[in-house]
Chain A
């Protein structure tokens, strides 16, 4: 089992450019979440994709967008890069459990993380 994979591992861009980061989920997982981890801070939730749709979104501007493909892999796109976008971008995969099962206590919302993509904006 390959686990969660992300590409590229490192990326250097300049202000104003656009970037695309990629994620392949763990085998059997259908949900992908993206997080931004600035230096010295905890990861911050960007958004989550399930069934090729954005299901949840954190407090990030519209410059951050994503996509999920039929094979459950996902992309994170960031437009008009700012210096403050420099961070480690983490992808996490999980298996969706319906709300009914959730309220019955059958939650399995454990998320498995990839190694991350280190983005540097100059």
Chain B
């Protein structure tokens, strides 16, 4: 079985400052890890994915995440937040059974 824990339910940042969203995972197998974003009244959009290749993964819109097996973490970062980054972010793990297990989500607020 696999699961993820998002360590922050809400993150508030000023526009132009860095964003850090923390995620720890648990998996019996070598996992695939994803970050999805959900804007209000919109579907889920994939930001980036880790599938046992490079441990530093670059995604869309300037986001990146680093897979650290020793810490069982997959934190999401962005150097400079934009107002359009305000949304709900989900850390997701997939094991050998193909289903996705979502974290509870982190709400990002960007202050002007």
Chain A residues within CB distance 8 Å of chain B: 4, 31, 33, 35, 41-45, 48, 55-56, 58, 90, 92, 94, 99, 102, 105, 107-116
- Per-position binary interface string of chain B over residues 2-45, scored 1 when its CB falls under 8 Å from any chain A CB and 0 otherwise: 00000000000000000000000000000010101000001111
Q: Which of B59-104 contact A (CB under 8 A)?
A: 90, 94, 96-104
Q: How far is the CA of A48 from the CA of B94 in the complex (A)?
A: 13
A104 to chain B, nearest CB (A): 10
B44 touches A33 (CB 8 A): no
Q: How far is the CA of A90 from the CA of B90 in the complex (A)?
A: 14
Q: Which of B43, B46, B103 contacts A90 (CB 8 A)?
A: B43
B8 to chain A, nearest CB (A): 14
Q: Which of A31, A107, A114 contacts B51 (CB 8 A)?
A: A107
Pair count A-B, CB < 8 A: 60
A41 touches B104 (CB 8 A): yes
Size class of B's contact patch? 20 to 34
B98 touches A42 (CB 8 A): no
Q: Which of A41, A109, A115 contacts B98 (CB 8 A)?
A: A109
Asked if A116 meets B102 with Cβ closer than 8 Å, knowing A42-B90, A99-B96, the reply is no
